[in-house]
């Protein structure tokens, strides 16, 4: 019997930049399970300019599906739960809807202190608008060519000298940051260069109106704190955290990251229209979605002793989390998303690279027009085969760029979440998106968050850890299958591996030869176990697996057993027409193609 004194039902919400998703979690026969979900457009912008409007719309969907009253007539949440299954015991929410922090980083050395600060900023919803390093100017005068309008063009223009501090100051002022991070120096080292930078920051900050001045976070040499406070504290809000580089050999970026998360909550989430009115519904504060998703990935890694990579492909940002034992990392690309930031995705990837993944009947101009229109109306759903391929190509580019600095090798589990992954029946397209963009190698499991609620379940952990654990383990993810992805330099058509699959029960064994450049699916139902024997051929290798023969026990999934024999990195034919024919074949092979609507 459930304990009536402890919460037995929860409503969780994820208020995203485009969509607001709500889920009902309840104790069912002694286990916490997902019961029902609802989704609505996020209403942070006019005409509503109140995220509670979209949230209530999603909650009403849950009411209808669960046949359970959750809201009063005036739109307030019924909590705690009342007799007759009315309301819920608790509510919690996460959000990725606010704009990212605009950050400028000022320090002594680009390769040392600034590099550590950049690592810290990469883990929060922030964009780096400017970086200034003292070692790049060296305190010298910089030549600046300034030709006069009537100068003889045949002659070399006169050279004027400009103070590097002026150049730096202009760049910092133009960045218009919400936060200035000042770093530099090992603990106990010299303080004079830091004080010069502090003077520069103080002058720039003082020139702005008091209400528009950025917060300054000092994460440098602890010996300089009193002097930094004396120079900056009188003109701006100053926050001090431990040095990001206390010694030349050791980084310590976690305190700076935590402080930036606090600033994001104070300066961005608090000002999300309508969010403050929802705080009376919950005893916890709204968490950033990236932080909550990290909780999910780290839990999976600890619970099952796995190396896990999680990817959250959102409308405004793309988040990558890795967890290996007690080591974990989070990378948030607040400039890469499939909504308002789609134009940046296309610009950074280059339209030529994206065209290789599209049908041949589409021109670059037509593709770019679709992407630009989608950036203006990101909530639209692809209705044709071509629309679906265009959306997937953009998603592939965003995910690939976000994971470009992430180690994707030696994984046990790869999980995907985000709007593109939720409520889709085209699981083959989702699997191909992950394999194309991340290109992990080895033998691992691929899973997708079909509900789009994994970050919200991570937020639930701050309220009720066992409820979060139960729903994450049982309901959050759909297993697509086990993937075998060897590294290979074999030529197209050569054999990469020979595979024997023996499902549990002793019947229906399969022997298969897999050619390089192909994708193969072997039917294996979700939860069905099988013994496999992999014999590698030619140059094909499985990382960290010794010898040419490998045996393992695996489980199936919605797609079965997936063999990705395209090598790493995936190689394309030189001819454009052949490249498109090859990518089309991969869509057919994995079942990721859609018919015309």
Report the CATH number at residue 18: 3.30.420.40
Q: Are residues 433 and 447 in the same domain?
A: yes
- Give the model's confidence band at 380: pLDDT under 50 very low, under 70 low, under 90 confident, else very high: confident
Percentage of the chain surpassing pLDDT 90? 71
Peptide bond into 487 cis (omega under 30): no
Crossing angle of helices 192-206/225-232, nearest 10°?
20
193 pLDDT higher than 80: yes
What are all long-range contacts of 230-235, with beta carbons under 8 Å and residues at least 24 apart? 231/195, 231/198, 231/199, 231/202, 232/182, 232/198, 232/201, 232/202, 232/205, 234/202, 235/202, 235/205, 235/206
Q: Which residue in this structure is represented by tokens 């409503």?
A: 11
Q: Are residues 26 and 107 in the same domain?
A: no
Average pLDDT of the residues of the chain: 89
Q: Are 532 and 551 in contact (CB under 8 A)?
A: yes
Crossing angle of helices 289-304/465-474, nearest 10°?
70
Domain-located, residue 135: yes
Q: Give the residue numbers spanning the domain of 17.
A: 9-95
Q: How many domains does one find in the chain?
A: 3
358 pLDDT higher than 90: no
- Give the model's confidence band at 127: pLDDT under 50 very low, under 70 low, under 90 confident, else very high: very high
Q: In angstroms, what CA-CA distances link 425 with 295, 380, 412, 456? A: 27, 17, 24, 22
Higher pLDDT, 505 or 221: 221
pLDDT at 143: 40
Q: Which H or E run includes 388? A: helix 385-402
Cα–Cα distance between 457 and 372 in angstroms, integer? 33
Q: Are 278 and 341 in contact (CB under 8 A)?
A: no
Q: Are residues 249 and 229 in the same domain?
A: yes
Specify the DSSP class assigned to residue 267: I
For 85-93, what is the mean pLDDT? 96
Residues 54-78: pLDDT tens digits?
A: 999 999 999 999 999 999 999 999 9
468 pLDDT higher than 90: yes
Domain-located, residue 78: yes
For 358-385, what is the mean pLDDT? 86
For 303-323, what is the mean pLDDT? 96
Q: Are residues 77 and 172 in the same domain?
A: no
Peptide bond into 309 cis (omega under 30): no
Cβ partners under 8 Å of residue 491, min gap 6: 516
Cα–Cα distance between 56 and 61 in angstroms, integer? 9
CA dihedral 374, 316, 459, 307 (to 10 degrees): 100
Mean pLDDT lowest for which of 201-205, 217-221, 428-432, 546-550? 546-550
Specify the DSSP class assigned to residue 470: H
Q: Are residues 45 and 187 in the same domain?
A: no
Report the CATH number at residue 225: 3.40.50.2300
For 90-96, what is the mean pLDDT? 96
For 433-452, what is the mean pLDDT? 95
4: left (phi over 0), alpha (psi -120 to 50) or beta: alpha
Cα–Cα distance between 358 and 363 in angstroms, integer? 9
Q: Are 352 and 328 in contact (CB under 8 A)?
A: no
Cα–Cα distance between 321 and 309 in angstroms, integer? 6
pLDDT at 158: 54
Q: Are residues 213 and 80 in the same domain?
A: no
Mean pLDDT lowest for which of 157-166, 309-318, 456-465, 547-556? 157-166
129 pLDDT higher than 50: yes
For 23-33, what is the mean pLDDT? 96
* Euclidean distance between the first and the last CA atom of the chain, given in angstroms as a whole number: 50
Q: Are residues 40 and 87 in the same domain?
A: yes
Report the relative pairing of strands 287-288 and 90-95 from DSSP bridges: parallel
For 174-191, what is the mean pLDDT? 92
Q: Are residues 87 and 173 in the same domain?
A: no
Q: Report the SS3 class of residue 88.
A: coil
Mean pLDDT lowest for which of 237-246, 464-473, 567-576? 567-576
pLDDT at 322: 97
pLDDT at 1: 38
* Buried/exposed code over 296-330 (b: 16+ C-beta within 10 A; e: otherwise): bbbbbbeeeebbbbbbbbbbbbbbbbbbbeeeebb
């Amino acid at each position: 019997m459930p304990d009536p004194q402890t919460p037995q039902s929860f409503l969780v919400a994820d208020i995203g930049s485009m969509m607001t998703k709500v889920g009902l979690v309840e104790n069912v026969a002694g286990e916490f399970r997902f019961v029902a979900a609802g989704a609505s457009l996020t209403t942070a912008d006019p005409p509503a300019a109140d995220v509670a409007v979209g949230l209530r719309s999603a909650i009403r969907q849950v009411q209808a599906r669960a046949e359970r009253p959750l809201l009063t007539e005036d739109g307030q949440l019924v909590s705690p739960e009342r007799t007759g299954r009315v309301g819920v015991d608790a509510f919690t929410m996460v959000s990725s809807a606010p704009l990212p922090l605009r950050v400028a980083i000022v320090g002594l050395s680009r390769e040392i202190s600034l590099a550590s600060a950049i690592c810290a900023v990469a883990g929060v919803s922030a964009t780096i608008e400017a970086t200034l390093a003292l070692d790049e100017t060296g305190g010298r005068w910089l030549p600046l060519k300034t030709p006069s309008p009537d100068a003889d063009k045949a002659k070399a223009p006169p050279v004027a000298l400009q103070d590097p501090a002026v150049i730096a100051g202009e760049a910092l002022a133009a960045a218009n940051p919400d936060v200035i991070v000042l770093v530099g120096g090992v603990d106990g080292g010299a303080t004079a260069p830091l004080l010069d930078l502090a003077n520069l920051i103080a002058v720039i900050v003082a020139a702005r109106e008091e209400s528009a001045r950025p917060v300054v976070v000092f994460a440098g040499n602890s010996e300089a704190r009193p002097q930094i406070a004396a120079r900056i504290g009188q003109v701006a809000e100053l926050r001090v955290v431990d040095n990001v580089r206390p010694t030349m050999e050791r980084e310590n970026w976690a305190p700076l990251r935590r402080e930036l998360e606090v600033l994001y909550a104070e300066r961005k989430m608090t000002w999300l229209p309508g969010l403050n009115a929802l705080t009376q519904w919950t005893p916890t504060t709204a968490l950033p979605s990236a932080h909550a998703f990290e909780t999910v990935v780290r839990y999976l890694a600890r619970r099952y002793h796995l190396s896990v990579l999680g990817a959250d492909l959102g409308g405004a940002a793309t988040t990558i989390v890795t967890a290996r034992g007690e080591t974990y990392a989070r990378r948030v690309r607040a400039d890469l998303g499939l909504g308002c930031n789609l134009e940046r995705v296309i610009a950074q990837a280059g339209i030529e690279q994206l065209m290789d993944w599209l049908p041949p009947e589409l021109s670059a101009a037509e593709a770019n027009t679709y992407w630009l229109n989608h950036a203006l109306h990101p909530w639209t759903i692809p209705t044709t085969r071509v629309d679906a391929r265009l959306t997937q190509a953009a998603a592939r580019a965003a995910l690939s760029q976000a994971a470009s600095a992430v180690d994707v090798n030696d994984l046990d589990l790869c999980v995907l979440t985000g709007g593109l992954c939720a409520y889709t029946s085209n699981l083959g397209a989702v699997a191909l998106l992950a394999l194309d963009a991340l290109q992990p190698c080895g033998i691992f499991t691929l899973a997708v968050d079909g509900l789009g609620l994994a970050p919200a379940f991570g937020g639930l952990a701050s309220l009720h850890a066992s409820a979060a654990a139960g729903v994450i383990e049982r309901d959050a993810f759909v297993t697509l299958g086990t993937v075998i992805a060897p590294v290979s330099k074999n030529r197209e058509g050569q054999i990469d591996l020979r595979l024997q699959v023996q499902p549990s029960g002793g019947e229906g064994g399969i022997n298969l030869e897999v050619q390089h450049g192909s994708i193969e699916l072997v039917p294996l139902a979700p939860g069905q176990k099988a013994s496999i024997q992999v014999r590698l051929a030619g140059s094909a290798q499985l990382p960290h697996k010794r010898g040419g023969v490998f045996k393992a026990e695996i489980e199936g999934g919605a797609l079965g057993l997936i063999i990705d024999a395209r090598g790493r990195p995936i190689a394309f034919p030189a001819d454009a027409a052949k490249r498109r024919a090859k990518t089309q074949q991969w869509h057919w092979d994995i079942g990721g193609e859609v018919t015309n609507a």
